[in-house]
């Protein structure tokens, strides 16, 4: 229930920022204090402007807001149980016979007087109406009472939720001011690391399926004739609009100005790494021709499938390797959330630990865990067992699996390798980012592709 609500709030946040439209009302027409606060927080001019202009700040703000909502939804659980119990009693009372209503009337009066004022719900007023009419005319009176009681119950629960929100809202805003800056700097620095290491950018593109996969990843060769579109060189005079991206040759002069000063060049690198550079857009003239394309094919797989990321948290990965791993992980998570792709994090040293990052509330849990530091040895086989078990679930079937490690561990056990090959036969790809792992490359040839970063 909590997860469903968080997913709804996440979609509402994006709807408001991307389209500038108010979040939709509840299906039953009821009022939701958290939804009201979401609109209030996002529409605040400072928040709205920065969410529009800075994707990193937007991610930090959204994650913090959803984490706060997760804590409030837990606080709301007793209130929801109280509402359900009272409404169940209501349904039972009004569905009963007239004789049963007479027997339970005293209990009804006690419950109502304990929870409501006479202005909200007066049982004695309804009692007077019942006494003044015959039994065959009771039904409209009981229906009117039922409707008023139901409305009064919903309004009472809403008031208590609003009070709890008001009591906790200020603390959230204060904590966000303190922690938000640190989270922003973490995400911002991760984009800088991504720019320094081309391997990281390539991994995000391949797992994100932002470009066609290479022929090396498939296994049956076919020959066919297809039309080819040829793009001509694009001159400035041919530009007919402005878009965003990271093609430096097409960047507007106003973007390149950032490189003229060391104080602002990081802004350019950040905008480049996150594809936020303003650049020329046009529709270049095209021509078509026939050509023979040699490709290889495997069993069909999802265009934008789920993602499983396994991060080695052994002691050998502490320090700079941790920063690189966290940088890549954060970029992958942002990509997965933007594309609404399920993402599963497995951290492993002596024992594997898993966090399902498809749940918005677990975003903050992931960052807290990674900041606790790395220690212990490595059991890569257990990590692979956990990854394969996750692949068996419906949500993560045929996921991309990325392992971030120094790969200083032995070849997986025979039973594990057999299951791994079965998943690869279905179309699952196992990728690796090695940290100073070039001398382990021959040991882990079971990977579909291994990138390596040397001498951090």
Residues 233 and 318 placed together within one structural domain of the fold: no
Percent with pLDDT over 90 in the chain: 25
**Mean pLDDT computed over every residue of the chain:** 77
- pLDDT band of 309, cuts 50, 70, 90: confident
**Residue 134: inside a domain, yes or no?**
yes
Do 310 and 344 touch, CB atoms closer than 8 A? no
Q: How confident is the model at residue 156 (pLDDT cuts 50, 70, 90)?
A: very high
Query: Are both 290 and 323 inside the same structural domain?
Result: no
pLDDT greater than 50 at residue 268: yes
Same domain? 311 vs 291: no
Cβ count within 10 A of residue 151: 12
Please list the residues that pair with 307 across neighbouring strands: 343, 400
**Lowest-confidence segment of 76-80, 234-238, 253-257, 371-375 by average pLDDT:** 234-238
Residue 185 sits in the same domain as residue 232: no
Mean predicted confidence (pLDDT) in 348-367: 62
- Confidence bin at 127 (pLDDT 50/70/90): very high
Chain segment 377-429, per-residue pLDDT in tens: 567 788 888 888 888 888 788 788 988 888 888 878 899 999 999 988 888 88
Predicted pLDDT of residue 226: 44
Query: Looking at the structure, do residues 342 and 233 belong to the same domain, yes or no?
Result: no
Q: Give the mean model confidence (pLDDT) for residues 326-330.
A: 76
Task: Report whether pLDDT(150) > 60.
Answer: yes
DSSP lists the bridge partners of residue 400 as 307, 429
Based on the domain organization, do 326 and 394 belong to the same domain?
Answer: yes
Do residues 280 and 365 both lie within one domain? Answer: no
pLDDT at 233: 43
- The answer to whether the beta carbons of residues 356 and 393 sit under 8 Å apart is no
Answer whether residue 327 is part of any domain: yes
Q: Is the pLDDT assigned to residue 347 strictly greater than 90?
A: no
Question: Of the residues 196, 228, 250, which one is the last residue of a structural domain?
Answer: 196
Which residue would you say has higher pLDDT here, 198 or 309?
Answer: 309
Residue 204 covered by a domain? no
421 belongs to a structural domain: yes
Domain match, 287 and 325 both: no
> Do 161 and 33 form a contact (C-beta atoms < 8 A)?
yes
Q: How far apart are CA 238 and CA 324, in angstroms?
A: 40
- Is residue 359 domain-resident? yes
**Domain presence at residue 202:** no
Yes or no: say if 286 and 230 are a contact pair by the CB < 8 Å rule: yes
Q: For the chain, what is the domain count?
A: 3
Distance CA 28, CA 144 (A): 19
Residues 382 and 405 in one domain: yes
Q: Are residues 233 and 148 in the same domain?
A: no
Contact present, 218 and 295 (Cβ < 8 Å): yes
Report the candidate in 83, 76, 127, 135 with the shortest Cα–Cα distance to residue 105: 127
Same domain, 163 and 26: yes
Residue with more model confidence, 50 or 223: 50
Same domain? For 176 and 260 the reply is: no
Look up the CATH number of the domain holding residue 330.
3.40.50.410
Domain extent at residue 343: 307-453
pLDDT for 158 equals 94
């Amino acid at each position: 229930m909590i997860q469903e609500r968080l997913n709804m709030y996440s979609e509402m946040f994006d709807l408001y920022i991307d389209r500038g439209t108010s979040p939709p009302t509840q299906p039953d027409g009821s009022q939701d204090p958290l939804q009201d606060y979401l609109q209030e927080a996002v529409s605040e001019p400072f928040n709205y402007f920065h969410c529009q202009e800075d994707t990193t700040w937007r991610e930090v703000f959204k994650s913090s807001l959803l984490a706060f909502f997760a804590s409030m939804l837990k606080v709301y659980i007793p209130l929801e149980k109280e509402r359900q119990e009272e409404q169940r009693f209501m349904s039972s009372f009004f569905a009963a016979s007239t004789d049963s209503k007479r027997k339970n009337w005293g209990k009804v009066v006690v419950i109502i007087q304990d929870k409501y004022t006479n202005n909200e719900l007066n049982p004695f007023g309804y009692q007077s109406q019942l006494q003044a009419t015959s039994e065959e005319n009771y039904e409209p009176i009981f229906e009117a009472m039922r409707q008023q009681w139901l409305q009064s119950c919903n309004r009472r629960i809403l008031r208590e939720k609003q009070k709890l929100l008001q009591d906790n809202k200020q603390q959230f805003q204060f904590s966000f001011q303190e922690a938000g800056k640190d989270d922003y700097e973490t995400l911002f620095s991760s984009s800088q690391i991504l720019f320094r290491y081309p391997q990281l950018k390539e991994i995000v593109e391949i797992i994100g399926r932002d470009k066609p996969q290479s022929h090396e990843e498939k296994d049956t060769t076919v020959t066919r004739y297809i039309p080819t579109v040829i793009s001509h060189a694009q001159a400035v005079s041919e530009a007919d609009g402005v878009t965003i991206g990271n093609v430096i040759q097409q960047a507007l002069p106003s973007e390149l100005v950032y490189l003229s000063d060391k104080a602002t060049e990081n802004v350019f690198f950040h905008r480049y790494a996150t594809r936020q550079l303003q650049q020329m857009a046009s529709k270049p003239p095209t021509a078509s021709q026939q050509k023979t394309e040699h490709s290889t094919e495997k069993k069909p797989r999802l265009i934008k499938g789920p993602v499983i990321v396994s991060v080695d948290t052994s002691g050998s990965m502490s320090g700079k390797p941790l920063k690189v791993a966290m940088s890549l992980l954060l970029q992958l998570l942002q990509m997965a959330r933007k594309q609404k792709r399920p993402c599963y994090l497995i951290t492993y040293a002596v024992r594997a630990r898993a966090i399902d990052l498809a749940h918005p509330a677990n975003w903050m849990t992931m960052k807290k865990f990674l900041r606790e530091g790395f220690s212990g040895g490595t059991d890569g086989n257990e990590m692979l067992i956990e990854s394969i078990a996750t692949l068996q679930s419906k949500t993560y079937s045929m996921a991309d699996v990325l392992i971030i490690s120094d790969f200083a561990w032995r070849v997986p056990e025979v039973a594990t390798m057999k299951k791994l090959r079965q998943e690869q036969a279905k179309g699952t790809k196992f990728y690796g980012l090695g940290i100073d792992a070039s001398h382990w490359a021959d040991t882990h040839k079971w990977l579909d592709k291994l990138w390596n970063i040397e001498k951090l």
